[in-house]
Amino acid sequence: MMDFLMLDNGAACAVNAIPCVEMAEFRAALIDGVTKQNCRVSAFCALDINSEKRLLAVLLDSALKKLKLLSSKVGTAYPALTCDAPAFHWFEREIWEEHKILPEGHRWLKPIRFSAPDAEIGVTDYFTLQGEAAHEVAVGPVHAGVIEPGHFRFQCMGEDVHFLEIELGYQCRGVEKLLSGGPDVKTLHLIETAAGDSSIAAALNYCAIAETMNHVEVPPRAVALRTLALELERIANHIGDLGALAGDVAFLPTSSFCGRIRGDFLNMTAKLCGNRFGRNFVIPGGVRFDLDDAGIAELQKKVLQGEKELFHALGLMFDAPSVLDRLENTGVVTAETAREIGMVGVAARASGVALDVRRDLNCDDFIPETVRGGDVLSRALVRKKELVHSLDVVKRLLAELPSGEVQTPCPATLTASTLGIHLVEAWRGELCHLVLTDENGKIRYVKIVDPSFHNWFGLAMALRGQQISDFPICNKSFNLSYCGHDL
Amino acid sequence: MFEMLKARFFQGYRTGKFPPAAPNLPDHFCGRPQVEAHADIEAARALCPTHAWCEKAGAPAIDTGKCIFCGKCAACGVTFTREYRMAAMTREKLFADASPYTPEEQLDRGIRKMCGHSLKIRQVSAGGCAACELDFNVLNTLAWDMGRFGIQAVASPRHADAILVTGPVSRNMLLALKKTYEAMPKPCWVIASGACAVSGGIYAESPDVAGPVDKILPVDLYVPGCPPHPAVLLEALLRFIGRM
Ligand code: SF4
Ligand code: SF4
Interface confidence, given as ipTM, is 0.94
* One domain, residues B54 and B172: no
For residue B115, tell me if it sits in a domain: yes
For residue B13, tell me if it sits in a domain: no
Give the end-to-end CA distance of chain B in Å, rounded to a whole number: 38
Starting from the CA of residue B195, give the closest ligand: 2
Starting from the CA of residue B209, give the closest ligand: 2
Residue ranges lining ligand 1, Cβ < 6 Å: B 47-50, 52, 62, 67-73
* Binary contact (A178, B205; C-beta < 8 A): yes
* One domain, residues B124 and B63: no
Inter-residue contact A245 to A477 (CB < 8 Å)? yes
* One domain, residues B113 and B233: yes
Q: B221-223 and B189-193 as β-strands: parallel, antiparallel, unpaired?
A: parallel
* One domain, residues B122 and B190: yes
* Binary contact (A259, B140; C-beta < 8 A): yes
**CA-wise closest residue to A310 among A391, A249, A379, A234:** A391
Dihedral, CA of residue A337, residue A339, residue A343 and residue A348, to nearest 10: 90
For residue B100, tell me if it sits in a domain: no
d(CA A317, CA A313): 7
CB-CB neighbors (< 8 A) of A195 in chain B: 129-130
- With a CB-CB cutoff of 8 Å, which residues 133-172 of chain A face chain B? 141-142, 144-149, 169-172
Q: What is the pLDDT of residue A84?
A: 93
Task: Tally C-beta pairs within 8 A across A and B.
Answer: 184
Report the nearest atom of ligand 1 relative to the CA of B50.
7
**CA-wise closest residue to A179 among A401, A402, A433:** A433
CB-CB neighbors (< 8 A) of A267 in chain B: 24, 26
**Final residue of a structural domain among B22, B51, B86:** B86
Q: Which of B208, B226, B232 is best to mutate for the A interface (most A CBs within 10 A)?
A: B208
Comparing CB atoms, the residue among B142, B168, B226 nearest residue A173 is: B168
A32 close contact with B: CB closer than 8 A: no
Q: What is the pLDDT of residue A2?
A: 58
For residue B97, tell me if it sits in a domain: no
Q: What is the pLDDT of residue A363?
A: 76
* One domain, residues B152 and B226: yes
Give the end-to-end CA distance of chain A in Å, rounded to a whole number: 34
β strands within A66-216, DSSP E: 66-73, 77-79, 102-104, 134-139, 151-157, 160-167
CB-CB neighbors (< 8 A) of A483 in chain B: 127-130
* One domain, residues B131 and B76: no
d(CA A270, CA B227): 12
For residue B145, tell me if it sits in a domain: yes
Comparing CB atoms, the residue among B8, B26, B208 nearest residue A173 is: B208
Number of domains present in the structure of chain B = 2
Angle CA A148–B71–A402, to nearest 5: 95
* One domain, residues B219 and B139: yes
CB-CB neighbors (< 8 A) of B151 in chain A: none
- With a CB-CB cutoff of 8 Å, which residues 169-198 of chain A face chain B? 169-175, 177-178, 185-186, 189-190, 192-197
d(CA A343, CA A379): 13
Comparing CB atoms, the residue among B125, B141, B226 nearest residue A149 is: B125
* One domain, residues B41 and B152: no
* One domain, residues B236 and B143: yes
Q: How far is CA A118 from each of CA A94, A121, B7, rounded to the nearest angstrom?
A: 16, 9, 55
Reading chain B (244 residues) residue by residue, the pLDDT tens digits are: 788 888 888 888 888 888 888 899 999 999 999 999 999 999 999 999 999 999 988 999 999 999 999 999 999 999 999 999 999 999 999 999 998 888 776 767 778 888 888 999 999 999 999 999 999 999 998 889 999 999 999 999 999 999 999 999 999 999 999 999 999 999 999 999 999 999 999 999 999 999 899 999 999 999 999 999 999 999 999 999 988 8
Structural domains present in chain A: 5-121 (3.30.460.80), 175-485 (1.10.645.10)
* Binary contact (B229, A169; C-beta < 8 A): no
For residue B233, tell me if it sits in a domain: yes
- With a CB-CB cutoff of 8 Å, which residues 346-385 of chain A face chain B? none
Q: Which domain holds residue B209?
A: 109-240
* One domain, residues B190 and B223: yes
* One domain, residues B156 and B71: no
For residue B229, tell me if it sits in a domain: yes
- What's the residue count for chain A? 487
A397 Cβ partners below 8 Å, 6+ apart? A224, A225, A227, A228, A231
> Which residue of B lies nearest to A319 if distances are taken between CA atoms?
B3
For residue B92, tell me if it sits in a domain: no
Neighbouring-strand partners of residue B35 = B78
d(CA A88, CA B239): 51
Q: What is the pLDDT of residue A388?
A: 96
* Binary contact (A196, B127; C-beta < 8 A): no
* Binary contact (A274, B173; C-beta < 8 A): no
CATH number for B201:
3.40.50.12280
* One domain, residues B223 and B130: yes
**Helical H segments across A82-169, by residue range:** 89-99
**CA-wise closest residue to B30 among B229, B235, B241:** B229
Reading chain A (487 residues) residue by residue, the pLDDT tens digits are: 558 999 999 999 999 999 999 999 999 999 999 999 889 999 999 998 888 999 999 999 988 899 999 999 999 999 999 999 999 999 999 999 999 999 999 988 999 999 988 888 988 888 888 888 899 999 989 998 899 999 999 999 988 999 999 999 999 999 999 999 989 999 999 999 999 999 999 999 999 999 999 999 999 999 999 999 999 999 999 999 999 999 999 999 999 999 999 999 999 999 999 999 999 999 999 999 999 999 999 999 999 999 999 999 999 999 999 999 999 999 999 999 999 999 999 999 999 999 999 888 887 688 888 899 999 999 999 999 999 999 999 999 999 999 999 999 999 899 999 999 999 999 999 999 999 999 999 999 999 999 999 999 999 999 999 999 999 999 999 999 999 999 9
Q: What is the pLDDT of residue A163?
A: 92
Q: What is the pLDDT of residue B112?
A: 81
